Amino acid sequence: MIRKRLYLYSILSMIYMGFLFYVSSIPIEIEVPSFSALDKLTHLVAYGVLACLIYLALHETNALKGYVLGVAFAISFSYGALNEIHQYFLPWREADVFDTIANGMGAFLFLVALRLKIHNRNR
């Protein structure tokens, strides 16, 4: 059962990463202000979900005991930063450091919430 969950969350993480890459590659038709609250909230939620999926995949392994939160954060934050760099090279998109910050904040906040939920459930 643990192996099945490991594969499930790993595959879901990769599919979701592909989805984020695809969405960040398509041209946007409307002009989005550089610091739009809705835009930052979207980044926060998108990379929070990614961090949780990665955490759930890594949590099923014994290799990273004690480091799962940090590794899940590092992977999701790094992926968000690389995705912003990728957008820099697209003429119809732009890279934004505030998007990268929102990505990291989302990953952090969602991981803290998930960890608290798991901790309270195991009491």
Q: Which pLDDT tens digit goes with each residue over 51-60?
A: 999 999 998 8
Q: Which pLDDT tens digit goes with each residue over 90-109?
A: 998 889 999 999 999 999 99
Instruction: List, in sequence order, the alpha helices (H) in the chain.
Output: 2-25, 37-59, 68-88, 97-121
Averaged pLDDT for residues 111-118: 93
Q: Decide: 20 and 46 in contact? Cβ < 8 Å.
A: yes
Please name the residues in contact with 47: beta carbons below 8 A apart, sequence gap of 6 or more: 20, 76, 77, 79, 80, 102, 103, 104, 106, 107, 110
Q: Which pLDDT tens digit goes with each residue over 58-94?
A: 988 877 788 999 999 999 999 999 999 999 999 988 8
Domain ranges of the chain: 2-25+35-121
Q: What is the CA radius of gyration of the chain?
A: 15
